[in-house]
Amino acid sequence: MATLIGRIYYGYRYINEELSGIETFNIILSNVISQLYSFSLKDPRTQDFFLIGSPWGVLGIIFFYLYFLHELGPNIMAKRKPFNLDRIIQLYNFLQIVICSCVLYKALSLAWLVDYRFYCEPVDFSYNPRAIEIARTVWMYFLLKILDLIDTVFFVLRKKYNQISFLHVYHHAGMVFGSWATTKFLAGGHISFLGTINCFVHVVMYSHYLATSLRISKPWWKKHVTQLQITQFCLILIQFILLAYAEECPFPKWTAAVLIPQNLFMIVLFGDFYYKTYIKKRKTNKNGVALDVSNGKMKSQ
C-alpha cells in the first residue's frame, strides 16, 4: 500500500511540478496513449499565475460550486422568499459584456486577426512579449469562466431551480476545468480559438440578457442565441477534425481526441434543448397543447 501511495504521489509531482516544454507530435489518434507518456505537459510561463500552479484550487471551486447547488444553496433558501436581484443581475450582465469584449479584443488583435491559422496553430512557448501576452489572455479567459459560475448562484438565490439543468451545470463546471488545463499546459495556439469564439458568443448572449431585463429586447431572441451557441460548437468541431488530419502540425493531436467527442456531446445536448424548447413546443402549441419545458409535463391551453 505504501508503494502504491508513493507512486501516486510521485506521478502527481511529475505532472504538476516537474514537467516542462512541449514536443512535436506527428502521429494522430491511433498513438494517443504513447504521446501522453512522451508529452512534456507543464507550460512553465503560467505556473505562477493565480490558481494555475496546483489543481487543488480549481477543483475546490468546482466542488464547492456543485455543493452549493445541490445542498448548501437550497438549504439556505428553504425557508426564504426568492431574492429580487434584478439590478445586481443587470450589473453582472454589463460586467460580463465588458470583460468578454476585452478578452475577445486581445485574442483577435494578438493572434486570430494577425497570423493564427484555423487549421493548425502551434503554441509559442517562448518568453517574447507577444507570446506572454497571449498566455495571459488565456489565463484571463479561465478567470472569466469562474465568473460564469455566478449565473447558477443567481438561479439558486431566486429559486429558479428548473433552470439548473444537467446541461447548464455540466457546461459551466467543464469550462472552468478545461480552461484551467489549457492555461496550465497549452496557453495559446490552436485551442485558443475555442475561447475566442466563446467570448464572442457571450458578448451577444449577455447583451441579449441585459437588453431583455431593460425591456429593450424581445425574449424570442433567445432562440437565436442558442443557434449561435450550436454554431460555435460546430466550428470548434471542424477545427479539431482538421487538426486530427493535419499531417505536419506541431500542435498536440491528442487534444482532438478529447475535444471532438466533447463538442459532439455539446451539439447533442444543445440540439436537444433547442428541439424541446423551440420546435417541439411550437408543434404542441399548434395542436392546442402547451409544453411546460420546466418539468416536461403537458397541459391544455
> Catalytic residues, which ones?
171
Q: Under a CB-based contact definition with an 8 Å cutoff, are residues 25 and 253 in contact? A: yes
User: In 52-161, which residue ranges form alpha helices assigned H by DSSP?
Assistant: 56-67, 73-77, 86-107, 129-148, 150-157
Q: What sign does the CA torsion over 104, 105, 110, 114 have?
A: positive
How far apart CA 193 and CA 110 sit, in angstroms, is: 12
- Tell me, what DSSP letter sits at residue 51? T
- Tell me, what DSSP letter sits at residue 297? E
How far apart CA 153 and CA 150 sit, in angstroms, is: 5
SS3 labels along 193-222: HHHHHHHHHHHHHHHHHHHHHCCCCCHHHH
Angle at 70 between CA 52 and CA 226, to 5 degrees: 75
